Amino acid sequence: MAETLHDAVGWPVVHQYFRIDRARWRALAADERSAAIAELAAHLQQVGAEEGLQFVPLAGVAKADFGYMAVHPDLRRLQQLGQQIAGTAFGTCLTPLYSFLSMSEVSEYMSSSEDGRRQLIEEQHLDPASPEFATRLAAFEQRMAHYAEARVHPQLPADMPLVCFYPMSKSRGDKHNWYALPFEERKRLMGGHGTTGRKFAGRVLQLITTCTGLDDWEWGVTLFARDLKSIRDVVYEMRFDEGSALYGLFGEFYVGIRLDPAQLQQTLAL
């Protein structure tokens, strides 16, 4: 039995996108296509119910035909998952289009207890010795603990059918080099970014994962929403933040709709 590959902090995350080779698919006999659809639908249902595995199959809207996002504590399970799909009869008719490996993390720019204390004193003018100060600081620390847990051990939403994924990095240009900035300045800029993102609470759920050393970019951003405009709006507004306007580099965007395995044939026009 191969040992599991668990990280001390954070979970591996995989995004995969494919095109369907329609010529190869149509070259199969009708009974072979029917069997392939049934095989894939059963497999998607099975992995979707697997304990510990968060699996979101997707019907691509523009660039891709089919894809999925998966999160699991063990990297080996994600490796096996990709091979299992590729090993189905339908998988032999898929052409890989784009893939992305990352892992969940807590941002190094997350507000600390000291940040909370400073805000209560300097902005809200509370006495550090007062009961109200202690109550508000405890509430702040609890919010940060919940936020950190959600970042490290994300729970993907089941009630948001639209999924947008894109990779990004920070600029290392001669004029605008993110990594040449002092830490406190980077933290200030990311704080403004977070303020914009919180305006969309309830409309968009955002998962940021890290991929430095794992992929060609530095972060992956996954946005979950119920409507396309919410995705457009949050990305548009965030691009005006100084941290993005001066230092943000963006890759290709992939938008998909959560795929119901029972509707596989109709959704993908197989």
CATH class of 1-108+155-270: alpha beta
Active site residue: 68, 166, 247, 254, which one?
Answer: 166
Q: Is 117 left (phi over 0), alpha (psi -120 to 50) or beta?
A: alpha
**Domain boundaries of the chain, sorted by first residue:** 1-108+155-270
The verdict on whether 236 is a catalytic residue reads no
* Cβ neighbours for 162, distance < 8 A, ≥ 6 positions apart: 224, 225, 226, 227, 228, 231, 255, 256, 257, 258
Provide the whole-model pTM: 0.88
**Per-residue pLDDT in tens (0 to 9) along the chain, 270 residues:** 455 666 557 899 999 999 999 999 999 999 999 999 999 999 999 999 999 999 999 999 999 999 999 999 999 999 999 999 999 999 999 999 999 999 998 877 777 778 778 888 888 888 888 888 888 888 888 888 888 888 899 999 999 999 999 999 999 988 899 999 998 899 888 887 777 878 888 999 999 999 999 999 999 999 999 999 999 999 999 888 888 899 999 999 999 999 999 999 999 999
The H-or-E segment that residue 43 falls in is helix 30-48
